[in-house]
Chain A
Amino acid sequence: MTEVVATSVGSSQVTANRSSLLRWLSHGGLMLGLLILFIVVTMAIFASLLAPYDPYLQSLPTRFTPPVWFPGGGWEHPLGTDHLGRDYLSRIMYGAQISLAIGIGTAVVSGIIGTAIGVCAGYFGGKVDSILMFIITARLAMPVVLVALAVVALVGSSLTVVMLTLGFLLWDRFALVIRATTIQLRSSEFVTAAELQGASVLQIIGHEILPNLLNNLVVVATLEMAQAMILEAALSFLGLGVPAPLPSWGLMISEGKDSILFEPWLITIPGVFLFALVLGTNLLGDGLRDVMSPNGRN
């Protein structure tokens, strides 16, 4: 089909661009994912402008104010306040910063490790591949949450520690996907062509292989982001993630669990935001895979 479509460049380039835009726009899941992420990212970036209060400002007299739609709530605190009287909406907005930082930071760290391992295993094959595959298998045998808990407990918790720990634990999917794609690319004729012209290994990897891995990298990165954000919340909930006054959504759920029967919104509100962000990221990842793979520029 692509062959029929791709004939004369002048006009088809225009239609190709237009059609790929159409394909993006007509993908419901992708658009929903982008919308959710757009909202969360805006919240995170402009938290200091948008947030009505300082997220750390305590006000014991107004503690446990319910959200606006509950009896007793008011527009003063649209999402209510927590057990220390901190404004929940402000904390949610600043919390978005933490979730996104963890998500992106982890995806970058694990992406670099996983890509390096995957490209080496796929490109060199043979013994290198066997050794790296063993390392990947060993990594898969490790229980992520347990190891992360142990590391954070030993080193002490901070945003950076959580980010790096998760980054060093979540590269396996990158490595496997990149390895498989690299093996495929390695045997394609344009790589042989570069080899024949005397390109060095680094030149081949940089010029021929990496650009063709971009699609896969982006898709896996979004999936890993979602994974990392959930893990961060889980760690924080267990008290070993982001340290206390920081408004992490996981930590907020943890702090709210004591009053689950009386003030359930303390759990549901950050829970819903976390759910939405993870859903949005996953939808984005799935959507990108759909629109980027079959007829796209690849």
Chain B
Amino acid sequence: MSDKPVLELRNVTHEYRGRRGIFSQSAPVRAVDKVSICVERSDILGIVGESGSGKSTLAKIMLGLLAPAEGEVLLDGWPAAGMTRRQIAERVGFIFQDPYSSLNPRQTVGKIVAYPLYLRGEGTSAERQERARKILDIVGLPLRFFDAYPNQMSGGQRQRVAIARALITRPKLLICDEPTSALDVSVQAQVLNLLLELREEFNLTYVIISHNMSVIQHMTTNVAVMYLGRIVEMNTSERVFEEPRHPYTQLLLNSTLTVAPGAGVPDLKVDTAAREAMREHPSYIAQ
């Protein structure tokens, strides 16, 4: 069992139905096009791409929120299509981008964190609270926050609550959709460090979706670059960042403004022809 990949996508395709008019229907939009991904235990897979690249749709498919039109999703080697919500939730946790809308403003932190256990009917109320306290301590939140409401906390603290909620049921895989893009730089580092620490502690596997190339470079073992629904390049992190092969990957890396005093902003000149060429360019997928 342990040699099976934690998460595997096989030729997953998803289409959004086109906008329906009274007399016509526009062509369906292929948000995810024949994507195959294999995430081994304790990998950190980064998925990068721009808005409209299909990375958010892909995340929804991984979480089982969307059923793929074609292809299949395997969790620990078992098809996710045959699993109940709860069985999926036991294997996959998630962290959303916006810690302001991912926590119910009417519940206390303690309740929010203990809720997944309640839904599974695990333990008594007191035991659940005890476990919530423990996990809050692990993610570095002082106990005084236990009875606080989310809007009494800063963005970074809220994201810690979201992480605690995701981890309380001990899933093996954590899917993080833009986990730090709503946070300040100084807080971003705290949250990224926490994710790395937790990975050691719980032997976690991550899928991190982000548009921030520096974060992806620092945090991942493997990278998949998505463009218009397809994976155009997939390789180990080192290879992708040292030797980007697909023109779109190169463009993404060139657009990333690293600290370089006086260097100016590179003149990229991406016109429609260049975009068209990128679409036609073959993918580089390392096995």
Contacts and interface: CB of A to CB of B under 8 A. Distances in A.
B105 A193 contact: no
Contacts of B107: 207, 211
Contacts of A212: 104-106
Query: Which size bracket describes the interface of B in this complex?
Result: 35 or more
A2 B150 CA distance: 11
B145 interface: yes
B87 to A, nearest CB: 9
Interface stretch (A8-16, A24-32, A124-132, A259-267): A8-16
A189 B179 CA distance: 13
Interface of B: 63-65, 84-86, 88-89, 94, 96-98, 101-107, 115-116, 119-120, 144-145, 148-149, 151-155, 162, 165, 169
Given A13-B148, A198-B85, A297 B153 contact: no
A190 B101 contact: yes
A9 B96 contact: no
A10 B147 CA distance: 11
A262 to B, nearest CB: 58
A13 B165 contact: no
B151 A198 contact: no
Interface of A: 2-3, 6-7, 9-10, 12-13, 16, 188-190, 192-199, 203, 207-208, 211-212, 214, 297-298
Contacts of B144: 9-10
Contact of A197 (B89, B96, B148, B162): B89
Nearest to A199: B119
Contacts of A214: 106
Contact of A195 (B65, B97, B102, B106): B65
B151 A196 contact: no
A198 B155 contact: no
A193 B168 CA distance: 14
5 contacts: A192-B96, A198-B85, A207-B115, A214-B106, A298-B105
Contact of B152 (A6, A194, A298): A6
